[in-house]
Amino acid sequence: MARLRRLAVICAALLVLPLAGCIQPLYAPAGFGLDSAPLAAELQSVAVDEIPQRLGHYVRNELIFGLNGTGSQPPPRYRLMVVLRERVQTPILDTVTGRATSATVIVDAEYRLVTIPDEVEVTKGIAFNIASYDRFSNRFSNVRAARDAEIRNARVIADSIRTRIATVLATRLSPVPAPAVVRY
């Protein structure tokens, strides 16, 4: 019985082994030479446009820090435009008082990354997040809880956009493999 189990584990390992070469770290250098440009330098060259409203301020600051947390100012090669839509829903009402006991802040972010000199679209997409918070009888507590939900949304959305942009830029940096020839 133990021998059969050991054989099954070895077979499973041998089946999974070919997939080990398919995984490439996202932030690894693009090539194997001294002239390879790392993804971090490419991300630092993304300029983030102004985003209106308070939530836009939070998202923009999180994006700037996530894309270029070094404080350096390399010349921008890409421009990131983000349009935000925010709405608040109060799904749960107290039947006695008629007041909402919780609220949900829903944010949709439509983003578009273009090259700066010729405005060629690199990628675009929609990121969204939902954050809920409890409502209280104190007005200040409600305002602060709503703002905390906005900040949580901003962090998640900025991280999602940064990861998607990093994935696209990493594929642009990696050399294109030669197509496999299948012979029958």
Name beta bridge partners: 93: 100
Spatial distance between the Cα atoms of 106 and 85, rounded to a whole number of angstroms? 8
Q: How far is CA 98 from CA 60, 93, 137, 152, in A?
A: 37, 6, 12, 28
Beta strands in 24-177 (DSSP E): 46-48, 78-89, 102-115, 121-134
Q: Structure tokens of 3? A: 């021998």
What pLDDT is recorded for position 135? 82
Sign of CA dihedral 119, 28, 24, 127: negative
- What's the N-to-C CA distance of the chain in angstroms? 41
* Residue type at position 27: Y
DSSP secondary structure string, 33-46? Answer: STTPPPHHHHHHTE
What pLDDT is recorded for position 48? 92
What pLDDT is recorded for position 32? 45
Q: Mean pLDDT per 10-residue run, the chain (184 residues)?
A: 83 74 59 54 89 93 88 88 90 74 90 90 92 85 89 94 90 64 50
Taken in order of first residue, the domains within the chain and their CATH numbers are 36-173 (3.30.160.150)
